[in-house]
């Protein structure tokens, strides 16, 4: 008669004998056995001081206007924006980046409003520096928020004029520095703009104002929600004659080297997620700090998937930002910044 004493009960799990493979000396899983051990061997870290929070500003007071294509993001009037920035600073966010959303009545072909000392951006910078002098304020240098054509440069007969645009960008940078900006961030991708801006800032006594250059800014499909937030979609054509071809990486290195030579203090790759290889390559080639922009389309994708229950938002966001850091970014502009800072 068969001995059934050691047989598993029907429907139960069979008993497993303890077994160790002889000679198996290297066991990487030992370094994963607990959170404490995993933290000891962790190679990439995300801290609050790696984060920059992009903010959209509109004229008026007591305004907090939702952006439909960017859930949980808003256009703030300057007074509300200052309060939001105070809360972010308390959570450990060291810097904000400002993007003005202007009424069409203030836009023209040469971006005249961009140098108005009492313009929306300039007033917001002054308000922030008065309230939070230790907060680093980064200002966007490009024509598209101010242009009736919606392009980053002056448009003439369908052509984006490079050298004529440089003078506007230089004057815009000086105006932002006069308002109190700590860093000006040219995002326009005109040739030679970093050198011209550096020259203008130095000539006007702003040699301590830094330049965070959008050195490798690609003609990406991931900018849609941002353009919705600022109503800055090109009125005709596209931006492919000045923003980079997504197929190119060597070109990004060349752009970074040019910006270094012209006086950039920090270089940026934008977008981030589809360009992690570019971030890694740029980090390997430059001695300057490298920023990456976790752009609006990347933000909107995660938000949409999380709202449909397809992803755990908190885990996916942390994994995304750590990946950008792992690729080599020293700092990350992200619309998730304030919420993530609370969890770090």
Rounded to an integer, what is the distance from CA 338 to the centroid of its chain? 13
Indicate if 90 belongs to the active site: no
Point out the catalytic residue in the list 217, 239, 283, 303: 217
Tally of CB atoms within 10 A around 6:
7
Per the rule left: phi > 0, alpha: psi between -120 and 50, beta: everything else, 138 is: beta
Point out the catalytic residue in the list 239, 270, 283, 303: 270
Indicate if 217 belongs to the active site: yes
Residues β-bridged to residue 76: 57, 64
CA 306 to CA 314: how far, in whole Å? Answer: 9
Hey, which residues are catalytic here?
Answer: 217, 270
């Amino acid at each position: 008669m068969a001995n059934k004493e050691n047989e598993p009960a029907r429907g139960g799990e069979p008993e497993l004998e303890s077994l160790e493979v002889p000679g198996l000396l290297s066991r990487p899983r030992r370094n994963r056995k607990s959170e404490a051990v995993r933290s000891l061997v962790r190679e990439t870290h995300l801290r609050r001081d790696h984060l920059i929070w992009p903010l959209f500003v509109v004229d008026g007071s007591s305004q907090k206007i939702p952006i439909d294509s960017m859930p949980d993001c808003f256009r703030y009037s300057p007074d509300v924006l200052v309060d939001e920035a105070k809360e972010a600073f308390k959570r450990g966010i060291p810097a904000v980046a400002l993007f003005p959303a202007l009424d069409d009545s203030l836009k023209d072909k040469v971006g005249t409003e961009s140098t108005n000392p009492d313009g929306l951006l300039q007033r917001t910078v002054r308000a922030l520096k008065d309230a939070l002098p230790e907060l680093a304020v980064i200002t966007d240098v490009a024509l598209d928020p101010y242009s009736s054509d919606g392009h980053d440069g002056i448009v003439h007969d369908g052509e984006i004029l490079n050298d004529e645009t440089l003078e506007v960008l230089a004057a815009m940078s000086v105006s932002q520095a006069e308002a109190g900006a700590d860093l000006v961030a040219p995002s326009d991708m005109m040739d030679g703009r970093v050198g011209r801006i550096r020259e203008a800032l130095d000539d006007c006594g702003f040699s301590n104002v830094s330049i965070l250059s959008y050195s490798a800014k690609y003609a990406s499909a991931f900018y849609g929600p941002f353009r919705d937030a600022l109503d800055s979609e090109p009125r005709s054509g596209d931006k492919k004659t000045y923003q980079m071809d997504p197929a190119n990486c060597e070109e990004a290195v060349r752009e970074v080297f040019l910006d270094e030579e012209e006086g950039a203090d920090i270089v940026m790759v934008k977008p981030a997620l589809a360009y992690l290889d570019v971030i890694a390559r740029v980090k390997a080639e430059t001695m300057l700090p490298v920023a990456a922009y976790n752009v609006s389309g990347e933000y909107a994708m995660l938000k949409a998937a999380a709202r449909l229950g397809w992803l755990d938002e908190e885990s996916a966001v942390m994994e995304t930002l750590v990946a950008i850091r792992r690729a080599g970014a020293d700092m990350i502009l992200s619309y998730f910044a304030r919420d993530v800072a609370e969890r770090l």
